[in-house]
Amino acid sequence: MRADARDNRLRILTAAEEVFGASPAASTEDVAKLAGVGIATVFRHFPTKVELLEAVYTLRLERLRDRAAELAVAADPGEAFFEFFGQVVAEAGSKLAIAEALTAAGSVAGEDARRAGAGLRQAFGELLDRAQQSGAVRVDAALPEVYALLIGASRGATATALEPEVRNRMLALVYDGLRPGRSS
C-alpha cells in the first residue's frame, strides 16, 4: 500500500472510531467528512459500512490488547492491573457504541475482531496473574469472574452514564472486593 493510501486508511479509521463511538447511527459520509477524504476513498478502503465498523472494532480491541501487554511488564503489577481495569471502564462507552453500530448493521464481530478479543482476554489474564503474584489481587479471583466484573462494570457505567467521580467510587468498591483479605 502506498504511503498516501496508508495515511488515508489511518485517517478513515481514526475518524470512524470517533464518529461511530459518539453515535452508532452515524454515516460513512460523516466519517469521510471528519477524515477529510471523499466518500469514494472511504469505500475504496472499506467497501461496506460493516467492513469499516468491523475494522474499527478490531482496532479498538487490538489497542486495548496492546495496552494490557504493555502494562504486563510494569514495575508495579497491582497498579498496572487496576489502571487497565479503570481505563477499560472509562472508555467503554465508545467501544460499546461501535459494537452497537456493528450489530445494527446486521453483523457480528468477524474473525479479526474475535482474534483481537481473545488476545485482549489473554493479556488481561496476564495482568491479573502478575497482580495476584504481587499480592495486590486476591488469588481466589479467577479470570472468568474478574473478566465478567470488567465487562459488567464497563456496561453498567455506560448504561447509567456515570459521571467520572461516581464511576471512580464504583471502581473503588470493585477494587476493594478484588484485594486480598476479603472472604469468598
User: pLDDT of 59-108, one tens digit each?
Assistant: 989 999 999 999 999 999 999 999 999 999 998 888 878 888 788 777 77
Q: Give the integer Cα–Cα distance in Å for 54 and 48.
A: 10
What value does the mean pLDDT take over residues 154-176?
A: 92
Question: What's the pLDDT score for residue 158?
Answer: 86
The answer to whether residue 99 sits within a structural domain is yes
142 has pLDDT over 90: yes
- Is residue 184 assigned to a domain? no
The residue that leads in pLDDT, 36 or 26, is 36
pTM of the complete model:
0.86
Same domain, 35 and 63: no
One domain for residues 34 and 56: no
Evaluate the CA torsion angle 34, 39, 43, 48 in order and state its sign.
positive
Query: Rounded mean pLDDT of 48-64?
Result: 91
* Same structural domain, 101 and 58: yes
Q: Quick one: 63 and 144 in the same domain? A: yes
Given a cut of 60, whether residue 183 has pLDDT beyond it is no
Answer yes or no: do 61 and 142 share one domain: yes
Q: How many domains does the chain have?
A: 2
Are the beta carbons of 42 and 28 closer than 8 angstroms?
Answer: yes
Q: Which residue has the higher pLDDT, 56 or 101?
A: 56
Structural domain boundaries, residue 55: 50-178
Q: Are residues 13 and 67 in the same domain?
A: no
Say if residue 133's pLDDT is above 80.
yes
Q: DSSP string of 114-128?
A: HHHHHHHHHHHHHHH
- Residue 109 φ/ψ, nearest 5 degrees: -55, 135
- Residue 183 belongs to some domain of the structure: no
Q: Does 110 share its domain with 140?
A: yes
Domain boundary among the residues 11, 30, 47 is at 47
* 27 within some domain: yes
Whether residue 111 sits in one domain with residue 173: yes
Mean pLDDT across the chain = 90
Please tell me the distance from the alpha carbon of residue 87 to that of residue 64, in angstroms, as a whole number: 9
* CA–CA distance, 103 with 96 (Å, rounded to integer): 10
Poorest-confidence range of 36-40, 64-68, 107-111, 169-173? 107-111
Residues 77 and 96 in one domain: yes
CATH at 26: 1.10.10
Instruction: Tell me, yes or no, whether 127 and 82 share the same domain.
Output: yes
- CATH number reported for the structural domain that contains residue 54 in this entry: 1.10.357.10
Q: Is the pLDDT of residue 1 over 70?
A: no
For residue 18, being part of any structural domain is answered with: yes
